[in-house]
Amino acid sequence: MALPDSAKTFIARYAGCEPSDEALWLEAITHGSTGEPRDYERLEFLGDRVLGLAVAEWLFRASSEAEGKLSQRLNALVSRATCARVARFIELGPHMILGKQAREDGGQDSDNILGDVMEALIGACFIEHGFEQARLMVQKLWAGEVEGKAGKLKHPKSALQEWTVGNGRKIPEYSLVDRSGPDHALHFTVKVSVKGVGEAQASSTSIQDAETQAAEEFLRNYA
């Protein structure tokens, strides 16, 4: 099994690094229900510890609170619920590789699976690029949680919509420009436009990813 192109794009965006060892990253998003010889459990074990250290250091440097308060915040920030919330925000679910039964049982939206895979990705980042890159990944994804502002880390499409409203513009319009390739390897090009401002395009293996990347490109060019 190969690492899907959509997963490569997702990892590069949110881990902040290209997935060189594709087998490692494939392992990080693969659930045991698939029957594959390698799944995310060992990487989840490691990623849990890396996440804990990264957040503990972050809190220590950013706050003068006593040990009890720091421990309370740390436990909340590395909890399964928080990991799952971050995973949902970045739309990790569609990139996870699940067996048929796990998919039918709603595995893509399971707190347990989402949280575990989120930690496994942090573990994979640590293995391939070391603690510094893993820490940067955690700081990017947990910024809103650590600062207590759920909206701190905004999805590009949400950020673009807020930008248009704040600047008195009409809401963004997304349109499919091109669809190509065989059914098992479709490729989509999407355009986002804001009347009176401009437009941007992006391509990916899913319409959802293409829209997200187009929004990112628009914000880079016009915001």
Per-residue pLDDT at 63: 86
**Which positions ≥6 away from 88 have C-beta within 8 Å?**
109, 114
76 or 174, greater pLDDT: 174
Active site residue: 27, 44, 119, 216, which one?
119
Residues 44, 214: Cα–Cα separation, whole Å = 31
In sequence order, what DSSP letters do the residues of 105-119 get, joined into one string? Answer: TTGGG-HHHHHHHHH
147-206 pLDDT, tens digit per residue, is 774 434 567 888 898 889 888 899 999 999 999 988 777 889 999 999 999 999 999 888
Per-residue pLDDT at 72: 86
29-60 pLDDT, tens digit per residue, is 999 999 999 999 999 999 999 999 999 999 99
Per-residue pLDDT at 151: 37
For the chain, domains (ranges, CATH) are 5-146 (1.10.1520.10), 156-222 (3.30.160.20)
Please say if 21 is a catalytic residue.
Answer: no
Residue 139 Cα distances to 14, 59, 152, 207, angstroms: 11, 11, 12, 28
Please say if 57 is a catalytic residue.
Answer: no
Q: Cα 41 to the chain's mean position, in Å? A: 18
Per-residue pLDDT at 27: 97
pTM: 0.70
Per-residue pLDDT at 150: 40
Active site residue: 44, 48, 209, 216, which one?
48
Per-residue pLDDT at 45: 97
78-113 pLDDT, tens digit per residue, is 998 899 999 999 999 999 999 999 988 888 989 999
3-23 pLDDT, tens digit per residue, is 999 999 999 999 998 899 999
Classify 156 as helix, strand or coil. helix
